Amino acid sequence: AIRIDDILEIVCRHFGAKVGELQSKRRSQSIVFPRQIAMFLARQLTELSLGEIGGFFGGRDHSTVVYALDKMERRRRVDSDFSVTISDLENRIRLMVEGN
């Protein structure tokens, strides 16, 4: 089973961020974007609820997670490069989990 820690590891490696930054209250774009991607992937790849995902990312409300999911889904539909990036991250996460 894919854990949120697995998702964070791959997303942080891809964006050069630290797990603590994605879980912090910081709202700079360099942190918000990978955080939103990690939230999106957590929703896609795990059975966690919106509240559980929000709690993992610095105690954010479920409405913040809904906003991130909507934003990432919209971008995925209109930006093919972004869609490829999301698919690549999903594949890397699955490969890492299968390798363990």
What is the pLDDT tens value at each position of the chain, 100 positions in all? 999 999 999 999 999 999 999 999 999 999 999 999 999 999 999 999 999 999 999 999 999 999 999 999 999 999 999 999 999 999 999 999 998 7
Cα–Cα distance, 66 to 47 (Å, whole number): 15
pTM of the model: 0.96
Provide the token pair at 55: 């709690």
38 CB neighbour count, 10 Å cutoff: 29
Q: Around 21, how many Cα atoms within 13 Å sit in the side-chain half-sphere?
A: 18
Provide the token pair at 38: 């990690």
Cα–Cα distance, 45 to 41 (Å, whole number): 6
